[in-house]
């Protein structure tokens, strides 16, 4: 058989969504897929010859340098001397103010000095910083070439494709590739610093000159593979550094559970088709939830309600589908454990910032704490948290508490919410399921990140390819395309993504002046 390529890049929930669905034709160029409003060509998609997709590498491409400034704040210490700060002004217009405000940005050799820090995912808090941290980031030193989407589409084979995508400096992406000649390939892209000292996980002194970047990981030594013997490639923001890799791309990749689940489903069958790949994209089984619940159920219950809850969870298959009562109870239990165990020690403000990332606590920290119990996570706390969960669940399904809200920014204006809300629906999955739906724990369970586009390209017959976006391609609620794809998206459906235009398709022809 010929290759299949499935992609569903996960992004923050927005309305309108980030992507425009396009089929572009020009002399020497044809591609179909999605583009950003400012891009000159297809960002993710396919040509009649090959298809490609991405996931984020989540590489460590930022370092904080704690700078030592002189008394009047005009220079930074560097080794045995002082270097004047670089100053430039930003003019920022604010609604209701006749003149823009002027903000002076100060920079050291390492980058701009930060004035505030942020915490949270959807509930973002800003706090002044009482130290002088300068940010070095590869994004300040690299840029995307506007012609890159055209070069990616015009590649004649996998090596030309590689040479095109390796021009990406930031943000680093995991590219997957498949073509009509039967080739499949993977390529990590991006600029990742070679540090003189340290691994990038902590702020470092900026004055000593001992923590500089010496260059970048050589592009030809970034992880890559072509036509692996196992017959497939899976990438899901996981740790891509092979054993013995001599460089540090990152130290905090996403947890490996989605990647492992994808591999498990691919290995079940020798042959796949568009339908089976779409089924994998919609999978809501959570392996880490099953592991965590097995550890939680070791407690000795003290009431009939607790015994009933434990029995219910003991028979659970780990499926976080929207109609699952067990999934709701489990997630409420984990939330109550986090609150009871951590908030008294952290305080409310710090706990809410940490709880934004509760799924990391739930998927990695809590299982470790349960396997190696600490003194302040005892059975009494687990039972009390279970009582909290039972009271909060009250028979609700996961979709009832994990509701997907997709709304235009204007929905925040009183009276306009119904008009500018594209979706408010029950939704399955979580951050660790293939059908990703990560939530900000500090705001309950509302999904914050979902697939921004789902597609499966069939390189054996591109006319069998299918794709869908969560709502529609229009940001105008009066448009027929405001949320006309919502039901397809929720139900695992999709629409044809072939290259033969339907007879009634609208087309726009652009000619030189």
Q: Are 46 and 3 in contact (CB under 8 A)?
A: no
User: Does position 452 have pLDDT exceeding 80, yes or no?
Assistant: yes
Q: Are 431 and 363 in contact (CB under 8 A)?
A: yes
User: Does position 217 have pLDDT exceeding 80, yes or no?
Assistant: yes
pLDDT of residue 374: 72
pLDDT (tens digit per residue) in 72-86: 999 999 999 999 999
Over pLDDT 90: what percentage of the chain?
84
pLDDT (tens digit per residue) in 468-498: 999 999 999 999 999 999 999 999 999 999 9
Whether 109 maps to a domain, the answer reads no
373 pLDDT tier (thresholds 50, 70, 90): confident
Whether 43 maps to a domain, the answer reads yes
User: Does 243 share its domain with 383?
Assistant: no
pLDDT of residue 357: 80
pLDDT of residue 448: 93
Average pLDDT of the segment spanning 378-407: 96
Average pLDDT of the segment spanning 323-338: 97
User: Does 231 share its domain with 329?
Assistant: no
Question: In angstroms, rounded to a whole number, what is the distance separating the alpha carbons of residues 227 and 182?
Answer: 9
pLDDT of residue 445: 93
**Residue 71 CB-density burial (10 A; 0-12 exposed, 13-18 middle, 19+ buried):** exposed
pLDDT of residue 441: 85
pLDDT of residue 440: 85
Tokens found for residue 86: 């670089």
Backbone region of residue 492 per phi and psi (left: phi > 0; alpha: psi in -120 to 50; beta: other values): left
Out of 347, 367, 401, pick the residue that ends a domain: 401
User: Does 269 share its domain with 298?
Assistant: no
Which of residues 356 and 48 earns the better pLDDT score? 48
Question: In angstroms, rounded to a whole number, what is the distance separating the alpha carbons of residues 126 and 409?
Answer: 20
pLDDT of residue 349: 85
Out of 336, 371, 401, pick the residue that ends a domain: 401
Question: In angstroms, rounded to a whole number, what is the distance separating the alpha carbons of residues 293 and 295?
Answer: 5
One DSSP character per residue, 230-245 reads TS----SS-----TT-
In degrees, rounded to 5, the angle at the alpha carbon of residue 13 between the alpha carbons of residues 10 and 16 is 110
511 pLDDT tier (thresholds 50, 70, 90): confident
User: Does 243 share its domain with 316?
Assistant: no
User: Does 210 share its domain with 293?
Assistant: no
Which of residues 359 and 444 earns the better pLDDT score? 444
- Torsion, Cα of 66, 72, 74, 79 (10° steps): -50
User: Does 157 share its domain with 192?
Assistant: yes
User: Does 202 share its domain with 232?
Assistant: yes
Counted domains in the chain: 2
Whether 275 maps to a domain, the answer reads yes
122 pLDDT tier (thresholds 50, 70, 90): confident
Give the chain's radius of gyration (CA, Å): 25
- Domain encompassing residue 30: 4-59+141-252+265-281
Q: Which residues have a Cβ under 8 Å from the Cβ of 42 and sit 6 or more positions away?
A: 22, 24, 31, 32, 33, 34, 35, 149, 153
314 pLDDT tier (thresholds 50, 70, 90): very high
Tokens found for residue 461: 């017959």
pLDDT of residue 272: 97
pLDDT of residue 487: 97
pLDDT of residue 375: 72
Q: Are 153 and 499 in contact (CB under 8 A)?
A: no
One DSSP character per residue, 95-149 reads TT-SS-EEEEEEEETTEEBPSEEEE-SSS-EEEE-SS-EEEEEGGGT----TTHH
- Lowest-pLDDT range of 18-22, 171-175, 355-359, 362-366: 355-359
pLDDT (tens digit per residue) in 436-446: 999 988 888 99
* Of 14, 11, 10, 12, nearest in space to 407 by CA: 14
User: Does 185 share its domain with 157?
Assistant: yes
User: Does position 120 have pLDDT exceeding 80, yes or no?
Assistant: no
- Tell me the β-bridge partners of 342: none
Question: In angstroms, rounded to a whole number, what is the distance separating the alpha carbons of residues 484 and 493?
Answer: 12
User: Does 271 share its domain with 303?
Assistant: no
User: Does 243 share its domain with 292?
Assistant: no
Average pLDDT of the segment spanning 252-260: 94
One DSSP character per residue, 329-396 reads HHHHHHHHHHHHHHHHHH-HHHHHHHHTTHHHIIIIIHHHHHHS--TTS-HHHHHHHHHHHHHHHTT-
Which of residues 369 and 512 earns the better pLDDT score? 369
Q: Are 194 and 211 in contact (CB under 8 A)?
A: no
How, if at all, do strands 62-66 and 204-205 pair? parallel
Chain-centre distance for alpha carbon 252: 13
Whether 16 maps to a domain, the answer reads yes
* Of 2, 4, 1, 7, nearest in space to 468 by CA: 7
Question: In angstroms, rounded to a whole number, what is the distance separating the alpha carbons of residues 297 and 307?
Answer: 10
Average pLDDT of the segment spanning 56-82: 96
**H-assigned helices in 36-100:** none
pLDDT (tens digit per residue) in 9-54: 999 999 999 999 999 999 999 999 999 988 889 999 999 999 999 9
User: Does 241 share its domain with 331?
Assistant: no
User: Does position 466 have pLDDT exceeding 90, yes or no?
Assistant: yes
Out of 360, 379, 401, pick the residue that ends a domain: 401
Average pLDDT of the segment spanning 182-206: 96
pLDDT of residue 360: 83
How, if at all, do strands 447-451 and 438-439 pair? antiparallel
How, if at all, do strands 447-451 and 10-12 pair? antiparallel
Q: Are 236 and 227 in contact (CB under 8 A)?
A: no
CATH code where residue 42 lies: 3.60.20.10
- Tell me the β-bridge partners of 25: 30
CATH code where residue 375 lies: 1.10.1400.10
Q: Which residues have a Cβ under 8 Å from the Cβ of 127 and sit 6 or more positions away?
A: 116, 117, 118, 119
Q: Is 409 helix (H, G, I), strand (E, B) or coil?
A: helix
Residue 49: C-alpha distances to residues 29, 45, 152, 223 (Å): 11, 11, 11, 24
Quote the mean pLDDT of the chain.
Answer: 94
User: Does 166 share its domain with 192?
Assistant: yes
């Amino acid at each position: 058989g010929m290759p299949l390529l499935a992609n569903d890049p996960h992004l923050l929930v927005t309305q309108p969504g980030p992507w425009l669905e396009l089929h572009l034709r020009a002399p020497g160029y044809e591609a179909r897929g999605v583009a950003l409003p400012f891009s000159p060509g297809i960002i993710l998609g396919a040509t009649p010859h090959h298809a490609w997709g991405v996931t984020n590498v989540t590489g460590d491409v930022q370092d904080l340098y704690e700078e030592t400034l002189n008394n009047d704040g005009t220079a930074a210490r560097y080794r045995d001397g002082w270097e004047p700060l670089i100053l430039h002004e930003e003019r920022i217009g604010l609604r209701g103010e006749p003149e823009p405000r002027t903000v002076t940005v100060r920079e050291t050799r390492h980058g701009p000095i930060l004035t505030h820090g942020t915490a949270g995912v959807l509930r973002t808090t800003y706090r002044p910083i009482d130290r002088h941290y300068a940010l070095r980031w590869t994004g300040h030193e690299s840029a995307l070439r506007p012609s890159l989407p055209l070069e990616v589409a015009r590649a004649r084979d996998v090596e030309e494709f590689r040479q095109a995508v390796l021009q990406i400096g930031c943000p680093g992406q995991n590219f997957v590739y498949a073509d009509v000649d039967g080739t499949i390939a993977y390529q990590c892209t991006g600029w990742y610093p070679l540090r003189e000292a340290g691994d990038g996980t902590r702020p470092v002194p900026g004055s000593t000159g001992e923590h500089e970047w010496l260059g970048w990981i050589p592009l030809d030594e970034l992880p890559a593979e072509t036509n692996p013997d196992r017959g497939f490639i899976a990438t899901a923001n996981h740790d891509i550094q092979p054993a013995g890799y001599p460089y540090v791309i990152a130290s905090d990749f996403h947890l490996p559970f989605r990647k492992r689940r994808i591999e498990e489903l691919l290995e079940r069958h020798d042959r796949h088709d568009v339908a089976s790949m779409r089924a994998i994209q919609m999978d809501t089984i959570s392996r880490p939830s099953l592991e965590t619940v097995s550890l939680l159920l070791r407690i000795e219950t003290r009431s009939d309600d607790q015994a009933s809850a434990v029995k219910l969870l003991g028979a659970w298959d780990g499926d976080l589908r929207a109609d699952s009562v067990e999934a709701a109870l489990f997630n409420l239990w984990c939330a109550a454990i986090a609150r009871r165990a951590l908030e008294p020690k952290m305080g409310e403000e710090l706990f809410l910032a940490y709880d934004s990332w509760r799924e990391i606590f739930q998927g990695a920290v809590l299982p470790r704490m349960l396997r190696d119990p600490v003194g302040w996570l005892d059975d009494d706390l687990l039972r009390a948290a279970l009582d909290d969960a039972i009271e909060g669940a009250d028979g609700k399904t996961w979709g009832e508490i994990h509701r997907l809200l997709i709304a235009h920014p204007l929905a925040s204006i009183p009276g306009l919410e119904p008009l500018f809300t594209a979706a408010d629906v029950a939704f399955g999955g979580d951050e660790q399921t293939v059908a990703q739906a990560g939530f900000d724990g500090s705001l309950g369970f509302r999904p914050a990140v979902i697939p921004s586009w789902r597609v499966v390209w069939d390189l054996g017959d591109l006319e069998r390819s299918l794709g869908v976006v969560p709502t529609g391609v229009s940001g105008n609620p009066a448009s027929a395309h405001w949320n006309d794809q919502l039901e397809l998206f929720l139900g695992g459906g999709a629409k044809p993504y072939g290259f033969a235009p339907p007879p009634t398709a609208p087309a726009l022809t652009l000619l030189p002046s």
